[in-house]
Structures are given as structure tokens and as C-alpha cells.
């Protein structure tokens, strides 16, 4: 299977994604034609730049003769309503509801698949903003995402992703940056509220760069396109593309890297190293065991489980096992020493093979549920509704959890077998 892997060591934004697609071989003429098809007065301007010595493609969206700006510069020149702070400023924000943006997408002369993808990305952005501000999605004022340049970014991303012709997008953990960001509703710590909402369930971290590295548009692209997160799988790389961000940081290349290749035939597996930490406990209050399990999961553990064991002097005990990525090993070991009564933690490293997985959304009568789907060489072997999605619906609508999960499975199977 042909896959694309996103290295987000310096985050991701709409223009970085488009630049990387171009660098990986997506024709510029296709994206330029897409921008023109939107009828928003936009054109694309590619250039070759260097970021910390790495050559990359920078793609700017030009609307009515003006380039798009980095978010922190854009909002520093505007008031809380998104209007220009200075009378001579003419590149104003389009205050569009989601329905109007979706109509623009629907009227564009692009493929139906690209229309669906672009619609999902904008809908994800709208849902995130609506939740952050506790308003109906149609009442969201699309300050950042309603501007013409963002419409072009997202629709071209959908068209370019289709042109890349991959079966799945996979992604590394995302460096979200640090510091604060000025946005439509004031100054917030990085990541911005909508960005953090969109990245729920994705592995994120902050590095040394005190700038916003993942934008809401970039986060929405990841949420919709990416099937799973983790280390690079066993893949034969065929094409590599680098998309440049707006800033050139000292000591870190501000680029998004896309590598496209073929997963080894007959496997369709992700192979990774995993750390296993274990401790035997025979003198600890069981209430504390539950607390340690919760804390370990909150601090990055992939899984935590307990096993009843018989220990020395015929004492009943608990074997506590934590599965984690190697980069989380040290802090999880410290957690065990700090919170439990153990005097020693055993650690070993093993290879883990996992089926490539993706999310497919089904729409129940109560809301959308993501189905986690995994298989080998195009054959689906496992499928299950995401627990948190089902739990949220069950709590919100006062329904039995099993009813929601059964309905999600039924809808998925009906679509799969239809």
C-alpha cells in the first residue's frame, strides 16, 4: 500500500502542507486551477526558500494582490472583531458562516472526493470553534478560517492530497511550539484553543521554539486526513517533499516533510519499539493503584494493566505493567517511584507490530462517531467505535452506552456492505 508520512517536528500549517505537496510532485497547475475555481480572487505564488539551510517550497496565497500573513501579524493589526485597526488597511476578514463556505466549495469545479474532504476540514474547524465558544456552529464567525486565503489553503489541500494518490496519511507526534499567540479573542498560550481542541487524541509536545507552530488550519487538516500517529513505519520511500513555514528559525528547520512510499508487501503493519515497565506491589492501598493507572495514562502511557499475583510469604499482590513509547519511559518510571511503594522497576524494550489504522466517521441520530478501522492490504480485520465519542453522546442524550455503540457499528456495516 502507498502511504504518506508527515514529519511535524516543526508543526504544520495550511501553506506548509501545500508547499510539501508541491515539493513531493503535485502539479502546481492543478493547485492554481483549483484556486481560480473558487472564485474568491485568489492566486498562488510558489517560491524556493531555505529554512535553517534546508531547501523547501514556500507557497503563498495572494488575494486581490495581497499575500496572506502569519496569524500573529494578522491579528496584531486588527481589533477584537477582526476589523483592521488602521483605516488604510484593506485586506479585511470575511465573516462567513459555515454554510456559505460549504456552498463555495460545492460550486467549485473539483472532484466530489475533494469537495467532501474540504467540507470535513472546514466542518472540523467550525465544530472546534463552536465548542470553545459554546455557540451553535452556524453562529461561529470564521475569523481565521473564513478568509479567502484559508478557503484556498483548505480546498487546495484536499485536491493536492487526492492527487498524491496514497492509501493513508500517517503522522509523527506534532511540535505545537510555545509562548503565546494573538488571535481573534485575545492572547492565549500556544496551542490556541481551537488548535488544542482539534488535536485531542493526537500526540503533541512543545519544543524550544516560542512560536505557534501548528495553526488551526493545519490541525484540522491533520484531524481529517491522518489515519494514525506514531513512528515511521517500515516503508520504501519513493518521494520526499519539504514545505516551508513563514519564519526561519535559528537551529531548527521550519519545514513540514512529506515522504511517500510503499509499505512492505504482505504486511501493512507499523513496527515500533515500545518500553515495558513493571513493578510488583504487595503493600499498597488498592485505591492508590487506580490513581497510578490514571496518572500513567495522563502522562503518555499507551496502556496500563494490572495482574493478580502471589508474592513471597504467600502475600496476594498486584503486578502493575505500563506500555509506553521510549521517550516517555523516564517520567513514567519516576511516577512509579513517586506514587507507589515499589523499591524497583523492571524495564525492557520490545518490538511491537500494529495494523495500520484509520478513522471513518458514521453519523448516528445523535451525532458523529468515529470508527477505528484496521486491516491488512485493504482487507478490514478490525473495526470498533471510538469509546469517547460514544460516551459523549450517551451522556449528552441520556442513552445507554451500548445502544450508541451498537448503532454506530450497524451504520458502519450497512455502509461497508451496501
pLDDT tens, residue by residue, 374-388: 877 667 888 999 998
Of 300-309, 370-379, 401-410, least confident by mean pLDDT is 370-379
Q: What pLDDT score does 261 carry?
A: 92
* CA distance to 87, 92, 167, per residue, from 271 (Å): 57, 48, 18
Please say if the pLDDT value at position 11 is more than 60: yes
Q: Write phi, then psi, for 320 (nearest 5 degrees).
A: -100, 120
* pLDDT (average), residues 284-298: 91
Q: What pLDDT score does 144 carry?
A: 46
* CA distance to 30, 109, 347, per residue, from 106 (Å): 18, 8, 54
* pLDDT (average), residues 325-336: 89
* pLDDT (average), residues 306-315: 92
Identify the band that residue 68 occupies on the pLDDT scale cut at 50, 70 and 90. Answer: low
Please say if the pLDDT value at position 43 is more than 60: yes
| 79/85 Cα distance (integer angstroms) | 6
Q: What pLDDT score does 374 carry?
A: 82
pLDDT tens, residue by residue, 15-37: 999 999 999 999 999 999 999 99
* pLDDT (average), residues 275-302: 91
pLDDT tens, residue by residue, 352-374: 877 777 778 899 999 889 898 88
Q: What pLDDT score does 71 carry?
A: 53
Which one is predicted more confidently, 85 or 94? 94
- Asked if 271 and 351 touch (Cβ cutoff 8 Å), the reply is yes
* CA distance to 6, 54, 171, 206, 299, per residue, from 328 (Å): 21, 29, 18, 14, 8
Q: What pLDDT score does 268 carry?
A: 57
Where does 270-354 sit in CATH, by number? 3.30.70.1380
Cis previous bond, 262, omega within 30:
no
Q: What pLDDT score does 82 carry?
A: 43
Please say if the pLDDT value at position 137 is more than 90: no
Q: What pLDDT score does 16 carry?
A: 97
Share of the chain above pLDDT 70, in %: 88
Q: What pLDDT score does 325 carry?
A: 83
Q: What pLDDT score does 361 carry?
A: 84
pLDDT tens, residue by residue, 161-190: 999 989 889 999 999 999 988 766 678 899
- Asked if 55 and 67 touch (Cβ cutoff 8 Å), the reply is no
| 257/262 Cα distance (integer angstroms) | 17
In the chain, CATH 3.30.70.1380 covers 270-354
Please say if the pLDDT value at position 273 is more than 90: no
Of 64-78, 154-168, 244-258, 325-339, least confident by mean pLDDT is 64-78
* pLDDT (average), residues 30-56: 94
Of 19-33, 109-123, 394-408, least confident by mean pLDDT is 109-123
Q: What pLDDT score does 230 carry?
A: 81
Identify the band that residue 146 occupies on the pLDDT scale cut at 50, 70 and 90. Answer: very low
* pLDDT (average), residues 27-48: 94
Please say if the pLDDT value at position 86 is more than 70: no
Mean pLDDT value across the chain: 86
* pLDDT (average), residues 253-268: 82
Amino acid at each position: 500500500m502507498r502511504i504518506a508520512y508527515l514529519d511535524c517536528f516543526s508543526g504544520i500549517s495550511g501553506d506548509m502542507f501545500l508547499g510539501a505537496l508541491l515539493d513531493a510532485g503535485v502539479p502546481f497547475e492543478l493547485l492554481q486551477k483549483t484556486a481560480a475555481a473558487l472564485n474568491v480572487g485568489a492566486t498562488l505564488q510558489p517560491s524556493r526558500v531555505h529554512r535553517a539551510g534546508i531547501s523547501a517550497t514556500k507557497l503563498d496565497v495572494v488575494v486581490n494582490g495581497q499575500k496572506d500573513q502569519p496569524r500573529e501579524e494578522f491579528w496584531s493589526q486588527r481589533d477584537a472583531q477582526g476589523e483592521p485597526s488602521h483605516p488604510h488597511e484593506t485586506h479585511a476578514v470575511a465573516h462567513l458562516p459555515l454554510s456559505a463556505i460549504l456552498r463555495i466549495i460545492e460550486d467549485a469545479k473539483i472532484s466530489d472526493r475533494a469537495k467532501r474532504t474540504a467540507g470535513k476540514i472546514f466542518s472540523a474547524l467550525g465544530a472546534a470553534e463552536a465548542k470553545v465558544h459554546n455557540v451553535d456552529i452556524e453562529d461561529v464567525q470564521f475569523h481565521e478560517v473564513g478568509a479567502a486565503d484559508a478557503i484556498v489553503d483548505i480546498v487546495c489541500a484536499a485536491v493536492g492530497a487526492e492527487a498524491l494518490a496514497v492509501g493513508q496519511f500517517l503522522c509523527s507526534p506534532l511540535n505545537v511550539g510555545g509562548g503565546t499567540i494573538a488571535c481573534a479573542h485575545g492572547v492565549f498560550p500556544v496551542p490556541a484553543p481551537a488548535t488544542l481542541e482539534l488535536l485531542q487524541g493526537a500526540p503533541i509536545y512543545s519544543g524550544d521554539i516560542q512560536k505557534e507552530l501548528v495553526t488551526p488550519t493545519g490541525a484540522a487538516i491533520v484531524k481529517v486526513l491522518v489515519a494514525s500517529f506514531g513512528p515511521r513505519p517500515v516503508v520504501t520511500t519513493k518521494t520526499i517533499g519539504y514545505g516551508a513555514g513563514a519564519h526561519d528559525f535559528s537551529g531548527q528547520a521550519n519545514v513540514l516533510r512529506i515522504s511517500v512510499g510503499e509499505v512492505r508487501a504482505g504486511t501493512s503493519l507499523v513496527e515500533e519499539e515500545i518500553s515495558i515497565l513493571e513493578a510488583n506491589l504487595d503493600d499498597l492501598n488498592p485505591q492508590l493503584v487506580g490513581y497510578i493507572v490514571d496518572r500513567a495514562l495522563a502522562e503518555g502511557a499507551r496502556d496500563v494493566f494490572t495482574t493478580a499475583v502471589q508474592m513471597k510469604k504467600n502475600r496476594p499482590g498486584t503486578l502493575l505493567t505500563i506500555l509506553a513509547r521510549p521517550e516517555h519511559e523516564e517520567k513514567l518510571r519516576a511516577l512509579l517511584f513517586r506514587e507507589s511503594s515499589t523499591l524497583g522497576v523492571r524495564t525492557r524494550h520490545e518490538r511491537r507490530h500494529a495494523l495500520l489504522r484509520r478513522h471513518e466517521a458514521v453519523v448516528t441520530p445523535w451525532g458523529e462517531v468515529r470508527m477505528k478501522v484496521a486491516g491488512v492490504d485493504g482487507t478490514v480485520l478490525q473495526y470498533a467505535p471510538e469509546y469517547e465519542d460514544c460516551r459523549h453522546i450517551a451522556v449528552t442524550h441520556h442513552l445507554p452506552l451500548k445502544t450508541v455503540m451498537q448503532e454506530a457499528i450497524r451504520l458502519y456495516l450497512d455502509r461497508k456492505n451496501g
